[in-house]
Amino acid sequence: MHYFYHFEYNVEDYALGVAPLVLALRVFAVADKYFVEPLQQMALNDISERVGGECDTPSFSQGIRELYTMSPIHVEALKDNFLDIARQSPDLFVQKDKYPEFQTALETVPQFAIDVAIDS
C-alpha cells in the first residue's frame, strides 16, 4: 500500500525475515497480477540490482526457488537476470561445499539447472 501513496517502495522496510531479493520478486508478482506496471518496473529494477550482488548468498538460492514457483507471465525477464549471473559464476557449481544453498536450489528446481545448461 505504501507504493500507492508514495510511488516508491523499499524492501528493507518490510523484509521481516524474508530476503530482500525474495520480497522484491513477490512485489513484482503482485504488481504483475494487478497490472501496476510502474511498480512492476521498480521491482524489476530492484531485482536486477540485487541479483548480481547476492549470487553467493542464500538469498540468491531462495530467489531461484521463488522465481520458478511464480506464475509464468513475464517471468522470462526475471529468469534472464538469474541465469546470466549463474552462468557468470562457475564457482557456484564447482565449490559445492561453499554454496550448499545453491546446490539445494539446483536439486529442488531442476528446471533452473536445465535453463542454465541450455544457453551456456
Which ranges constitute the DSSP H helices of 1-120? 2-6, 20-33, 37-53, 58-67, 75-87, 91-94, 100-108, 110-119
- Write out pLDDT tens, residues 83-120: 999 999 999 999 999 999 999 999 999 999 999 999 75
> Which of the two residues, 2 and 119, has the higher pLDDT score?
119
Using CA of residue 21, residue 23, residue 29, residue 31, what is the dihedral sign? negative
Q: What's the total number of domains in the chain?
A: 1
The reported pLDDT for the residue numbered 65 is 94
- pTM score: 0.84
- Write out pLDDT tens, residues 6-40: 556 666 655 577 888 998 898 899 888 888 898 88
Q: How does DSSP assign 39-68, residue by residue? A: HHHHHHHHHHHHHHHTTTSHHHHHHHHHHT
Host domain of residue 12: 2-119
